[in-house]
Amino acid sequence: ILEIPKLPIDRARQVLFGTLLGIVGTPP
């Protein structure tokens, strides 16, 4: 279980989506 740092949910979501998109390799 990963502990979520004291960051806003929006920030976490942006990072999460960014990681997912990066892994998928969506076109620019």
How much is the pLDDT for 27?
62
Number of other residues whose CB lies within 10 A of the CB of residue 21:
10
Q: What pLDDT, on the 0 to 100 scale, is given for residue 7?
A: 66
* Model confidence, pTM: 0.43
User: Nearest 5°: CA angle at 25, between 11 and 18?
Assistant: 0
Give yes or no for residue 2 having a pLDDT over 70. yes
Q: What is the mean pLDDT of residues 5-25?
A: 79
pLDDT in the model for residue 17: 85
